[in-house]
C-alpha cells in the first residue's frame, strides 16, 4: 500500500511513539521486579539473622545448641562463667587479612634485579641463581619480622592510623597467618603441619579455652599436685618432636593458629632460541606482602654480589638498603 509523504511521516511518528511507550513500560516492570527482589532478599536476611527462630539474637541464648546456630559465636564456659554464655569468637577478628595486598610477582622482582645488575655492565644473574637467592631472602625477611616485633614492642607506638610499626608488621605477617579449626587430637597427640614456621595459639574447639604451652619440666611439676594438674578449664600442651602433647588427653579437637612457611618462589622458564623465556603457567610468586617487592630486589642483589664475587653489585644494593633503613629509623 502506497503512502503520501505526509501519511508516511505520521505513520513513522506513531511507530516511534509506540516503541517508546513499550520501552518505558518494560523499564517500569524491570524496576518493579528489582524492588520486589530486594525486598525478598531483606526478608530472607531477617529470617536468617534470627538463627534459632526466636528473634532474640545470640546474646540471649541460654544453651549451646542455640549459640551454635550463629556463625562466629561459641558457648563460653571458661573462667568465671559458671552457667555458660554465647559470645563472639574474637579470634576471627584477628584473622582479618588483607589478601589483596599479599603476593609479589617473581617475574617483576627478577626483571628489576636484572635491570640493576646489568646497569653499567655489572653482570648477569641466571634463573637458577635467582631462584636460589630469592628463597633465602624470603625466609630472611620473614625472620626479620619477629626481630622487629621484639624491638618495636619495647618502644612507645603512636596513634597514627597507617604508621604504627607494630600494626604494619602484623599486617605483613597476616599474609602467612593460618587458622586451622577442629584439628583432630588422637590419644592426646596433635600431629603438627609440616608448613608451620612459628606456632601461635591453640584453643579447645568446643569451649574455645586457650591451651597454655609449658615445657616438659613444668608439666611434671604440675602433675605432683591435684590442684595444679591440667583440666578442661586449664589445659596445657608440651611441644614435642612428634607433635603437641595435649593435656588432659580427653580433649578431642583443637583450633590452631600459626605462621606458615612461605612457598618456595620460582622463576620458571622455557628455552627458545637459546634464551630463557618466562613461563607464567608453572612459576611460583613470593607469598610476602606486596610492600616487600623492593626489599626483595635489594637483598637479592646484595646476596648475588657476595656469591658471585662482585663487590660493586653489593655496594649498589647496600647503598639503597642503607638509605631505606636510615629513613625508617628517623
Whether residues 251 and 181 share a domain: the answer is yes
Report the residue count for the chain.
Answer: 330
What pLDDT is stored for residue 47 in this prediction?
Answer: 34
What pLDDT is stored for residue 33 in this prediction?
Answer: 46
What pLDDT is stored for residue 42 in this prediction?
Answer: 33
What pLDDT is stored for residue 201 in this prediction?
Answer: 94
| pLDDT value at 213 more than 90 | yes
Contact 223, 229 (CB under 8 A): yes
Whether residues 66 and 215 share a domain: the answer is no
pLDDT-based confidence at residue 58 (cuts at 50, 70, 90): confident
Whether residues 145 and 279 share a domain: the answer is yes
How many other β-carbons are positioned within 10 Å of the β-carbon of residue 264?
13
What pLDDT is stored for residue 123 in this prediction?
Answer: 67
Whether residues 65 and 124 share a domain: the answer is no
58-62, 126-130, 211-215, 221-225: which range is least confident on average?
58-62
What pLDDT is stored for residue 116 in this prediction?
Answer: 84
Whether residues 225 and 273 share a domain: the answer is no
Backbone angles phi, psi at 284, to 5 degrees: -125, 125
**Domains: count for the chain:** 3
Whether residues 84 and 139 share a domain: the answer is no
Average pLDDT in the 29-54 region? 40
Whether residues 111 and 89 share a domain: the answer is no
d(CA 75, CA 91): 14
Query: What pTM did the predictor assign?
Result: 0.61
Whether residues 148 and 278 share a domain: the answer is yes
Whether residues 198 and 271 share a domain: the answer is no
| pLDDT value at 255 more than 90 | yes
What pLDDT is stored for residue 236 in this prediction?
Answer: 97
Is residue 76 assigned to a domain?
yes
Is residue 19 assigned to a domain?
no
Is residue 255 assigned to a domain?
yes
Is residue 197 assigned to a domain?
yes
Question: What range defines the domain where residue 65 resides?
Answer: 61-94
Whether residues 148 and 202 share a domain: the answer is no
Whether residues 150 and 267 share a domain: the answer is yes
Task: Pick the last residue of a domain from 243, 260, 277.
Answer: 260
47-51, 81-85, 240-244: which range is least confident on average?
47-51
Is residue 215 assigned to a domain?
yes
Whether residues 83 and 148 share a domain: the answer is no
Amino acid at each position: 500500500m502506497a503512502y503520501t509523504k505526509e501519511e508516511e511521516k505520521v505513520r513513522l511518528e506513531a511507530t516511534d511513539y509506540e516503541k517508546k511507550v513499550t520501552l518505558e513500560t518494560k523499564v517500569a516492570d524491570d524496576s518493579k521486579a528489582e524492588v520486589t527482589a530486594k525486598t525478598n532478599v531483606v526478608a530472607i536476611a531477617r529470617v536468617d539473622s534470627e538463627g534459632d527462630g526466636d528473634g532474640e539474637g545470640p546474646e540471649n541464648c541460654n544453651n549451646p545448641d542455640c549459640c551454635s546456630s550463629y556463625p562466629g559465636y561459641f558457648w563460653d564456659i571458661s573462667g568465671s562463667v559458671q552457667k555458660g554464655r554465647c559470645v563472639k569468637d574474637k579470634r576471627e577478628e584477628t584473622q582479618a587479612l588483607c589478601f589483596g595486598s599479599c603476593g609479589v610477582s617473581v617475574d617483576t622482582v627478577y626483571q628489576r634485579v636484572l635491570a640493576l645488575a646489568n646497569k653499567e655492565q655489572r653482570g648477569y644473574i641466571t634463573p637458577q641463581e635467582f631462584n636460589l637467592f630469592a628463597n633465602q631472602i624470603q625466609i630472611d625477611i620473614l625472620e626479620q619480622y619477629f626481630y622487629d616485633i621484639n624491638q618495636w614492642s619495647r618502644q612507645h607506638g603512636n596513634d597514627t592510623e597507617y604508621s604504627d610499626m607494630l600494626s604494619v608488621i602484623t599486617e605483613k605477617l597476616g599474609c602467612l597467618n593460618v587458622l586451622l579449626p577442629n584439628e583432630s587430637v588422637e590419644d592426646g597427640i596433635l600431629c603438627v603441619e609440616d608448613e608451620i614456621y612459628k606456632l601461635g595459639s591453640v584453643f579447645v574447639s568446643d569451649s574455645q579455652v586457650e591451651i597454655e604451652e609449658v615445657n616438659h619440666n613444668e608439666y611434671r611439676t604440675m602433675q605432683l599436685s591435684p590442684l595444679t594438674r591440667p583440666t578442661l578449664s586449664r589445659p596445657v600442651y608440651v611441644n614435642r618432636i612428634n607433635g603437641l602433647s595435649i593435656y588432659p588427653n580427653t580433649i578431642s579437637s583443637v583450633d590452631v593458629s600459626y605462621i606458615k612457611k612461605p612457598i618456595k618462589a620460582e622463576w620458571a622458564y622455557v628455552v627458545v632460541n637459546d634464551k630463557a623465556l618466562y613461563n607464567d603457567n608453572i612459576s611460583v610468586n613470593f607469598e610476602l606482602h606486596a610492600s616487600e617487592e623492593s626489599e626483595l630486589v635489594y637483598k637479592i642483589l646484595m646476596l648475588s654480589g657476595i656469591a658471585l664475587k662482585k663487590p660493586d653489585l653489593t655496594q649498589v644494593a647496600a647503598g639503597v638498603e642503607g638509605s631505606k633503613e636510615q629513613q625508617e629509623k628517623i
